[in-house]
Structure 1
Amino acid sequence: MFYGNWEMSPQVLKWLIPLGILDLVLKSLSLWQAARKGQKWWFIALLLVNSAGILPGVYLLTHPEKKTRRQ
């Protein structure tokens, strides 16, 4: 069987590492926001579904955090 060469080129790593960090940041923000709002089903979906940042992005865009006025 042919397994190929598992080494990654520097070009691939140049894009893969920042995209992985962006996915981690989006997922962390969306999980934190869903937990604070008590949205159990969104939290479970965001935790279990690995969608490469698509689902966390959709959540953050459709459920913006409301700004409160501090006095």
Structure 2
Amino acid sequence: MSEQHPNDPLHGIKLAEIVQYLVAEYGWEELGKRIKINCFRSNPTIKSSLTFLRKTPWAREKVEKLYIRSIK
């Protein structure tokens, strides 16, 4: 963990890495159940999910929270 940001577990981790990890960990179907957003439920792809999450702060926050819970 970075000494400059000791309280930020997401420091240095790209959104793409987070989404790829969650897809590998849960799969699209389970991810869509855990976070009820269409980018995970209807024809999901990494690219389309990233586009949506970058434009939608509330959805990105949910994804980041799931990621933090998943890596602990």
The TM tier, using the shorter chain, reads under 0.3
Taking structure 2 as the reference length, the TM-score comes to 0.27
Greater C-alpha Rg: 1
